[in-house]
Structure 1
Amino acid sequence: MDYRKTQLFFAAVLFAVAFQWRDAVVGGTTTTISSIFAEHFEIMWAEDHVWSSPDGRMWNLVLDEKSGSGFQSKRKFKYGWFSMKLKLVAGDSAGVVTAYYLSSNTEKRDEIDFEFLGNRSGQPYMLQTNMYVNGIGGREQRMNLWFDPAEDFHTYSILWNRHHLVFYVDQVAIRIHRNTPETRSMYPSEQPMYVFSSIWNGDGWATRGGLEKINWSGAPFVSTYEKFHVDACEWTDTSIVPPCATTTSKHWWDQHGAWSLSQSQKDSYAWATSKFMQYNYCTDKGRYAIPPPECMVGLD
């Protein structure tokens, strides 16, 4: 697929997200989800801390001194496209963590994390991404965002296939993790995952290493979600591996154009990481005297 076709392909996907695709099941395995939250997600805890819009297309997760809250998908998936629009806690959000992630929810979990770390008023949010494979994590990257994520909704997406894993903020790739012979042991390829989100008290570590505590006079703290979209390989029976999880499929997220970044995507990735990256485990010699194998692999 040439450069222009690749760009048009991703534009079509983002267009579909914006206009809320309806449910569709292709061959019983791949599901595209609409934006009625209660049809596809269930509340994990503190039901009274989850507020819904009247039409069910917007959910709010609430944190106060009593409790945080969270939800998870009713279905689990292996490989695909996962996208959600979020508007984060405004004002003084120090110590508040809003998380949006995929997880196998097993004892030795695989997990792919967006974690938004609040800050004092006037200071930028910190976005932390992380990964766990077979229960092993320690792959944190932290970056500032080039906008205020509490002012308006922005789209946070994960592309996950057998070739690479890409974190997107709006249309900008901010992190790439490739599946190569050198990195295979730290690539999430064995366990299907659910979609989760939560808001909780992380003031023991989230803001300036735990120095900034939550100012509870500003509670309740609210993060808002809308227009989720999942186009992925649904895993319905753990004893039967669906074909879309093992072979190149006809679905866009597992075709050649989705196996690597286009040149413009590489350029925007370079711009974002060079200007906004604040911490990268790959360059932390105090933690890793020898960088982990995935740190030594390029984009292609």
Structure 2
Amino acid sequence: MFPMLILLLAAFAGSALAGRNFNQDFDITWGEGRGKILDDGKLLTLSLDKASGSGFRSKNQYMFGKVDMQIKLVAGGVSMCRFAVDGTPIRQFKNHESKGIPYPENQPMWIFSSLWDAEDWATRGGLVKTDWTQAPFTASYKHFNALACTSPSGSCSNNSSANSWFSQSLDNLGMERIKWVQKNYMIYNYCTDSKRFPNGFPPECSII
């Protein structure tokens, strides 16, 4: 087994982006050549060896929207992706600012992804070790598509037909799918990690 973490973070302000490529939309931010944009911008790869991993970041910042990307994970690896995989929701983070829980309502964010060795904490406290004889490990990214609002460009209009995602919410079936994924595939939950939070869990952990 290869304990490592592929981290894809996105928090999505007004235009729709579609059919672009990685040269136009992303920068390799670290890795000393281990991250590459290939095939005229149609393919991005990240690699990990014992010396270093690699990562990239979007050129634009986003506040609201929907972002799709095909990701080919490291073969045989133990990995984690957030927040949806193959159209299946795996987590929902609701706006509970009224209860004192921070929510990125007005703060645009970048899209980040990185590949790095996480055996010290993501594998039951380091019990599962990385088999470096199989390195380098490579993850691939294709078909990036964003139907999202970029910032700065004014406010997002929830009346626009291009922003149909603005009023979408999970139905009962969607919530059941989240529960199924978490029951069968979740290997780490920060809301149960008392070693990381010895003085109490984050406030969102107490809200169902």
TM superposition score normalised by structure 2: 0.77
1:50 CA drift (Å): 2.5
Structure 1 residues 201 and 294, CA gap change in structure 2 (3 angstroms): closer
Contact 1:62–1:69 at 8 Å: present in 2 too?
Answer: yes
Map 1:227-246; keep pairs closer than 5 Å: 227-236=143-152, 242-244=154-156
1:168 CA drift (Å): 1.5
- Residue 282 in structure 1 maps to residue 191 in structure 2: yes
Contact 2:101–2:204 at 8 Å: present in 1 too?
Answer: no
Match of 2:205? 295
Structure 1 residues 234 and 214, CA gap change in structure 2 (3 angstroms): same
Structure 1 distance, partners of 2:61, 2:164, is 19
Map 1:156-171; keep pairs closer than 5 Å: 167-171=83-87
Structure 1 distance, partners of 2:172, 2:91, is 15
- Structure 1's consecutive aligned runs of 4 or more residues displaced over 6 angstroms after TM superposition are none
Contact 1:75–1:236 at 8 Å: present in 2 too?
Answer: no
RMSD across aligned positions (CA): 2.8
1:84 CA drift (Å): 1.7
Letter in structure 1 aligned against 2:107: Q
Match of 1:56? 41
Identity %: 37
The structure 2 residue matched to 1:78, chosen from 50, 53, 63, is 63
Structure 1 distance, partners of 2:158, 2:143, is 28
Map 1:201-280; keep pairs closer than 5 Å: 201-236=117-152, 242-244=154-156, 248-250=158-160, 251-255=163-167, 258=168, 260-280=169-189
The structure 1 residue matched to 2:28, chosen from 22, 43, 65, is 43
Match of 1:176? 92
1:80 CA drift (Å): 1.1
TM superposition score normalised by structure 1: 0.56
- Where do 5+ consecutive residues of structure 2 fail to align? 1-12
Q: Name which structure has the greater RCO, CA cutoff 8 Å, separation 6+.
A: 2
- Where do 5+ consecutive residues of structure 1 fail to align? 1-27, 92-117, 119-124, 130-166
